[in-house]
Chains A and B, each alone.
Chain A
Amino acid sequence: MVSRFHVPDLGIGVGFRRPHFAEVVEGRPAMDWFEVIAENFMVDGGSPLYFLDRLRAQYPVVPHGVGLSLGGAHDADHLARLKRLADRLDAPWVSDHLCFTGTADVRVHDLLPLPYTRAMADHVVERVKRVQDTLGRPFAIENASSYLTYKASVMPEWEFLADVVERADCGVLLDVNNVYVSAMNHGFDAHTYLDAVPADRVVQIHLAGHSVKAKYRLDTHDGPVCDEVWALYQRVIHRIGSVSTLIEWDDQLPSFARLQEEAALARRLRAEALA
């Protein structure tokens, strides 16, 4: 395995989702690794932890958060529970999104985009440093898909991301589908974005399907990866080298065998790009 920002290349993985819990832990299907939505397992007991412990006994597992709200307020309880989960899994890294999810009082449970300003970059850098120090293990931030931009922004998203990860000294979870969705929604060139991401900080790649609406693209994770995103993925791999890759498929979830097919396609295209 190749070390990248002190984390291993785990190969090609998929998300561990409830309809597949029993099939995966009992059948031990072929898969390099799994990602779990951290908040779904930051619980005291019951079915989620039962299956999680059995999954971890058989595969590498990486927790991926949706609730840190790095552009918003710190939540001590959330971070403490995230650390407990990461320790339980002995996770090689932990990730969450470059976004905010609400205010201290109201959580909208969505990945809301940030204005790309110096002040916001400073805020996120401090939040990420605190998270990484608390977790005591590598932390990566993911670019979220977005449907709006702010008048107040003074730089493009890719500059903001590069600035934050360099100053916070953290990794990048590069979601290629999110770059494509945002590029289509906001009219920028996805290649410009992907070429600006610090290659040596990318610890993981996300791939997913999305929906095409009348006037915008929506990041729905409800289907296969589209051809345009596969092409961008190969370009990224060619540029940055071998990196752990994960297929996200959350809605209209297919059989696990279908997920294995999608993972096999990613494995083949990754190998082609590396050749």
Chain B
Amino acid sequence: MNPTWQAEMVAMIRGAKPLSGDLFAGSATLTGEEQIAIYAEQYRLRLWDAFAEEVPGYLALAGDAGEAVVWAFLDAHPPGHWSLGRIADGFADWLASHGAPVEHSEMARLDHAVMSGFLGADGQTPRPEQLADALTGSLRLALQPHVQLLALTTSVQRTRSVWSLGGAQPAVVAGTFLVAVYRVDRAMRHVELEPGAFAALGVVARGGTLADAVTAAVAAEPERAAGRLSAWFASFVERGLVQIAP
């Protein structure tokens, strides 16, 4: 067989090439073209189910129009990873670069943070008294692998929360929302952070020291940081947002 037969077959299945029965023997009841069409149909059913599981917030927000958008993305970016759980990787950025409403791309980003956090590892959470060691530099902190920080310009996190609890979807409003998405036991949560807390966690996420994180927090909120630092860092530990750097 032509060495490119697998690529040709995959292209037919995902709709990138017209179906052809040239490679296939057919059967008593099906032509070769009808045979490959079965796989093409299953491909669309399987991918749609998987994608819908990954971006429930986006699809709830986008409504009926969302399906065509999803297929436009999948046609341009067919799944390339062995895990179907990675099927929506890059979707939020793709939406943002293809003129989608900002709340749509931000909801997709939030969906992705929730789904990837759900399967993320658990690092060792520091004890509150270990924060002093972190300040002196003898202990390094990092974000827990299941935590993602999102600087949002729309209130999609509030919309998703209400919707996921079964309520009517509230309108998305514009604003600045600094959000940490994280996991508690086996459930995903999010918390809206104050600017200083968000800045401090951002430094931790980039591998900075706790001293650098404090500096960033003070720079973000010069008036309030001094009085809030202890509470912020205590909440990072209490919520399990940080780990002892591996």
Partners in one complex: yes
Which residues of A approach B to under 8 Å, CB–CB?
39, 42-48, 50, 67, 72, 75, 77-78, 100-103, 105-110, 112, 115, 117, 147-153, 185-187, 215-216, 218
**B20-63 at interface with A (beta carbon < 8 Å):** 23-25, 27-30, 32, 34-36, 38-39, 42-43, 46-47, 50
Q: Which residues of A contact B217 (CB under 8 A)?
A: none
Q: Quick check: is B183 within 8 A (CB to CB) of the other chain?
A: yes
Q: Quick check: is B72 within 8 A (CB to CB) of the other chain?
A: no
Q: How far is the CA of A39 from the CA of B82 in the complex (A)?
A: 8
CB pair A43–B119 under 8 Å, yes or no, is yes
CB pair A103–B10 under 8 Å, yes or no, is yes
From known contacts A75-B82, A148-B35, A215-B30, infer whether A110 and B25 are also in contact, taking CB-CB under 8 Å.
Answer: no
Query: Which among A44, A102, A109, A117 is the interface contact of B119 at CB below 8 angstroms?
Result: A44
How far, in Å, is B55 (CB) from chain A's closest CB?
17
Q: Quick check: is B244 within 8 A (CB to CB) of the other chain?
A: no
Tell which of B6, B42, B78 has the most Cβ of chain A within 10 Å: B6
CB pair B28–A187 under 8 Å, yes or no, is yes
Q: Which residues of A contact B117 (CB under 8 A)?
A: 46
Q: Write 24 A-B pairs (CB below 8 A) sorted by A numbering.
A: A42-B83, A46-B183, A47-B119, A50-B186, A72-B6, A77-B82, A102-B79, A103-B10, A107-B80, A107-B82, A108-B13, A108-B78, A109-B46, A110-B13, A110-B42, A110-B43, A112-B39, A148-B32, A148-B39, A149-B35, A150-B23, A150-B25, A151-B25, A151-B32
Q: Which residues of A contact B38 (CB under 8 A)?
A: 147-148, 216, 218
From known contacts A72-B6, A149-B24, A216-B38, infer whether A44 and B120 are also in contact, taking CB-CB under 8 Å.
Answer: yes
Q: How far is the CA of A186 from the CA of B24 in the complex (A)?
A: 12
Q: Quick check: is B191 within 8 A (CB to CB) of the other chain?
A: no
Q: Which residues of B contact A44 (CB under 8 A)?
A: 119-121, 145
Q: Quick check: is B68 within 8 A (CB to CB) of the other chain?
A: no
Q: How far is the CA of A42 from the CA of B86 in the complex (A)?
A: 12
CB pair B120–A45 under 8 Å, yes or no, is yes
Q: Which residues of A contact B6 (CB under 8 A)?
A: 72, 100, 102-103
CB pair A152–B27 under 8 Å, yes or no, is no
Which residues of B approach A to under 8 Å, CB–CB?
1, 5-7, 9-10, 13-14, 23-25, 27-30, 32, 34-36, 38-39, 42-43, 46-47, 50, 78-85, 117-122, 145-146, 183, 186
CB pair B119–A148 under 8 Å, yes or no, is no
Q: Which residues of A contact B81 (CB under 8 A)?
A: 107
The A contact surface, by secondary structure, is loop
Q: How far is the CA of A144 from the CA of B188 in the complex (A)?
A: 37
From known contacts A46-B146, A150-B25, infer whether A108 and B30 are also in contact, taking CB-CB under 8 Å.
Answer: no
How far, in Å, is A67 (CB) from chain B's closest CB?
4
Closest to A213 in B: B38
Query: Which among A39, A101, A106, A152 is the interface contact of B14 at CB below 8 angstroms?
Result: A106
Closest to B122 in A: A45
Q: Which residues of B contact A110 (CB under 8 A)?
A: 13, 39, 42-43, 46
Q: How far is the CA of A141 from the CA of B146 in the complex (A)?
A: 35
Q: How far is the CA of A7 from the CA of B36 in the complex (A)?
A: 37
Q: A102-B10, A216-B27 given. 18 additional CB < 8 A pairs?
A: A43-B85, A44-B120, A45-B119, A46-B146, A77-B82, A106-B80, A109-B46, A109-B79, A110-B43, A115-B1, A147-B39, A148-B35, A148-B36, A149-B35, A151-B32, A153-B25, A215-B29, A218-B38
How far, in Å, is B152 (CB) from chain A's closest CB?
23
CB pair A186–B27 under 8 Å, yes or no, is yes
The 10 closest A-B pairs by CB, nearest first: A148-B35, A44-B121, A45-B121, A67-B82, A43-B119, A47-B186, A215-B29, A147-B38, A149-B25, A46-B119
CB pair A45–B146 under 8 Å, yes or no, is yes
Q: Which residues of B contact A67 (CB under 8 A)?
A: 82-83
Q: Which residues of B contact A50 (CB under 8 A)?
A: 186
CB pair B9–A112 under 8 Å, yes or no, is yes
Q: Which residues of A contact B186 (CB under 8 A)?
A: 46-47, 50
How far, in Å, is A185 (CB) from chain B's closest CB?
6
CB pair A47–B83 under 8 Å, yes or no, is no
How far, in Å, is B144 (CB) from chain A's closest CB?
10
Q: Which residues of B contact A117 (CB under 8 A)?
A: 1
Tell which of B47, B119, B122, B146 has the most Cβ of chain A within 10 Å: B119
Closest to A45 in B: B121
Closest to B22 in A: A151
Q: Which residues of A contact B23 (CB under 8 A)?
A: 150-152
CB pair B120–A107 under 8 Å, yes or no, is no
Q: Which residues of B contact A187 (CB under 8 A)?
A: 27-28
Q: Which residues of B contact A151 (CB under 8 A)?
A: 23-25, 32
How far, in Å, is A142 (CB) from chain B's closest CB?
17
Q: Which residues of A contact B145 (CB under 8 A)?
A: 44-45
